Amino acid sequence: MPASFDAREFLAGFLVEAAEHLVSANQNLLAVEAMLQKGQPHPRAVRDLYRSLHTIKGLASMVGIEPIVDISHAMEAVLRAADRGGGRLAPGMVDVLLKGTRAIEEAVGALEHGRPLAPAPATLLDALALLPAQAPQAAPSSEETFTLDPALRSKLGLADKEQITQGLLAGRHVWRADFVPSPQRAAEGITITTVREAVGRIAEIVKVIPIQRQSAPGIAFALLVVTDADVMAIAQAVHADAEQVVPVVQTAPPPGPEPLGAAEVERVGTIRVEVTRLDDALDKLSALVVTRYRLERATADLAARGADVRALAFVVQENGRQLRHLRAAITRARMISVADMLQRVPLLVRGLAQQTHKQVTLDLQVGRAELDKGVADRIFPAVVHLLRNAVDHALESAAERTAAGKPEAGVLRVSAHEHGTSQLELRVTDDGRGIDRDKVATRAGRPVPHSDEALLELICLPGLSTMDTTTTTSGRGMGMDIIRRITVDQLGGELSVKSVAGAGTTFTLRVPLTVTIIDAFLFMSGNQRFAVPVASVEEIVDLEGARIASWPRPGSSTGVQTRILDRGGTAVPLLALQSVFRLPPDGAGRRAILVRRNGELIAYEVDRMLGQQEVVVRPLEDPLVRRAGLSGATDIGDGKPTLVVDLIGLGGSLLEAEA
Distance (Å, whole) CA 477 – CA 454: 19
Is the model's pLDDT at 362 over the cut of 80?
Answer: yes
Q: Are 594 and 508 in contact (CB under 8 A)?
A: no
Report d(CA 373, CA 278) in Å as an integer.
10
Whole-number pLDDT of residue 264: 41
* Mean pLDDT of the chain, nearest integer: 80
Are 178 and 238 contacting, i.e. CB atoms less than 8 angstroms apart?
yes
Summarize pLDDT for 282-317 with one digit per residue, the tens: 778 878 887 887 888 888 889 888 888 888 988 888
Does residue 586 register a pLDDT over 70?
no
Q: Which of 108, 125, 132 is nearest to 70 (CA)?
A: 125
With b for 16 or more beta-carbon neighbours within 10 A and e for fewer, the 451-466 pattern comes to: ebebbbbbbbbeebbb
* Helical (H) or strand (E) element with 374: helix 373-389
Q: What residue spans define the domains of the chain?
A: 7-134, 150-247, 277-320, 342-512, 517-658
- Residue 5, pLDDT > 80, answer no
Write the pLDDT tens digit of every residue in 497-523.
999 998 999 999 988 887 777 788 999
CATH homologous superfamily of 7-134: HPT domain (1.20.120.160)
Whether 157 shows a pLDDT value over 80: the answer reads: no
In contact, 248 and 174? CB cutoff 8 Å: yes
Of the chain, the percentage scoring pLDDT greater than 70 comes to 84
The CATH T-level fold of domain 150-247 is Alpha-Beta Plaits (3.30.70)
Least confident of 169-178, 320-329, 575-584, 633-642: 633-642
pLDDT of residue 551: 59
CATH class of residue range 517-658: mainly beta
Give the residue, 600 or 203, on which the prediction is more confident: 203
Query: Mean pLDDT over residues 107-129, rounded?
Result: 87
The residues pairing with 542 across neighbouring beta strands, listed in sequence order, are 591
- Identify the band that residue 468 occupies on the pLDDT scale cut at 50, 70 and 90: low
3.30.565.10, 3.60.21.10, 3.40.30.10, 3.40.980.10: which CATH number matches 342-512?
Answer: 3.30.565.10
Supply the pLDDT for residue 409.
92
Q: Which of 150, 162, 173 is nearest to 242 (CA)?
A: 173
> Tens digit of pLDDT for each residue in 414-448?
999 887 767 888 999 999 999 888 888 888 888 88
Share of the chain above pLDDT 90, in %: 9
DSSP string, 124-182: HHHHHHHSGGGS--PPP--S--B---HHHHTT--HHHHHHHHHHHHTT-EEEEEEE---
- Asked if residue 469 has pLDDT above 90, the reply is no
CA angle 414, 415, 417 (to 5 degrees): 155
Q: What share of the chain is helix, strand, coil (3-state, %, to 5)?
A: 45, 20, 35
At 271 the pLDDT is 65
Nearest alpha carbon to residue 69 among 84, 51, 54:
54
Cα–Cα distance measured from residue 546 to residue 370, given in angstroms and rounded to the nearest whole number:
40
Query: Roughly what angle, to the nearest 10 degrees, separates helices 43-63 and 7-37?
Result: 160
Residue 252 confidence (pLDDT) above 60? no
| 232 three-state secondary structure | helix
Spatial neighbors of 315 by CB under 8 A, at least 6 apart, are none
404: helix, strand or coil: coil
The closest of 534, 522, 532 to 629, measured between CA atoms, is 532
pLDDT band at 210 (very low <50, low <70, confident <90, very high): confident
pLDDT at 42 over 90: no
Q: How far is CA 247 from CA 202, 211, 242, 474, 559, in A?
A: 16, 18, 11, 54, 78
The stretch 534-562 carries a mean pLDDT of 71
